[in-house]
Amino acid sequence: MLDGRRVMITGGSSGIGRGLVRAFTAHGALVFAVARRPEALAETLAPTEPGRARSIAADITSDAGRRAVATAVQHAGAVLDVAIHAAGALGPIGDAGRLVDYPADDWNRVLDVNLSAVHFLHQRLVPFLDNGTAPVVIGVSSTVGRAGRAGWGMYSISKRALEGWLEVLTEEWDGRVYSVNPGGTRTPMRATAMPDEDPATLPTPSDIAPLFLRLAHPLAPEPSGSKLDARDWIGRDPWEGIPTA
């Protein structure tokens, strides 16, 4: 159903990003997997079908890293159909994440990864998205981005700001734009945030992939600007209601 769709996924070396890279390649897309660590990216791509994914080792918080992503897409034909911003930084949480004591360095780092890098990477990629077919941008939000929560500091604030960025983009850009809240997911970041939680009680990144796959389809019926929850699509057919021809 996604054969030929060109999809860029940040945060592809771990967690939700890794799960999405594997899910999209399994459904026929050509994926640009972006992350800082080349060895971890190689692990992500190891089980994928040869030729379905391209690894881009780049730090998207730097202009050089964003330029490297854009250059890779340019050399691959200068066409992009879907951009999924799954890279994220957690920062201090709990008592250490309370605003009154929140460290300046962590504040700037989390804001940079979760918001600024998304914006400035989009500026680099929008010409390629405009060359694509029914182009889509998906931002990975959070429960604490939909409603602020004490002790989650800049993570919560940056995800709330990401929601605002997606709202503005919806108004300004002709492509489709979505905010997806994955909910609690079995990832290394979640384990850091909630060390006492049993990970076996959480869905895996592959479990929450159906909604992302659905929204990437050129005929997805969800209107641009929708704020959606990935857990609503666990176990469902992502192509439900989408024409097959």
Q: Please give the pLDDT value at position 243.
A: 86
Q: Count the residues in the chain.
A: 245
Q: Model confidence over 97-132: pLDDT tens digits? A: 999 999 999 999 999 999 999 999 999 999 999 999
Q: Residue 139 corresponds to which amino acid?
A: G
155 part of the active site? yes
Residue 244 falls inside a structural domain: no
Residue 245 falls inside a structural domain: no
Residue 138 falls inside a structural domain: yes
Residue given tokens 């992500």 in the structure block: 44
Q: Which candidate in 24, 32, 155, 178 is catalytic? A: 155
CB 88 within 8 A of CB 114: yes
Q: What is the mean pLDDT of the chain?
A: 96
Q: Model confidence over 30-42: pLDDT tens digits? A: 999 999 999 999 9
pLDDT at residue 245 greater than cutoff 70: no
Query: What residue numbers bound the domain in which 198 lies?
Result: 6-233
The CATH number of the domain holding residue 229 is: 3.40.50.720
pLDDT band at 180 (very low <50, low <70, confident <90, very high): very high
Query: What is the mean pLDDT of the segment spanning 27-56?
Result: 95
- Give whole-number Cα distances, 52 to 8, 30, 33, 58, in Å: 12, 5, 10, 19
pLDDT at residue 175 greater than cutoff 70: yes
Q: Give 6's contacts (C-beta < 8 A, 6+ positions apart).
A: 29, 30, 32, 73, 76, 77, 79, 80, 81, 82, 132
Ranges 150-159, 204-213, 220-229, 236-245: which has the least confidence: 236-245
Number of folded domains that form the chain? 1
Q: Model confidence over 123-161: pLDDT tens digits? A: 999 999 999 999 999 999 999 999 999 999 999 999 999
The pTM score is 0.96
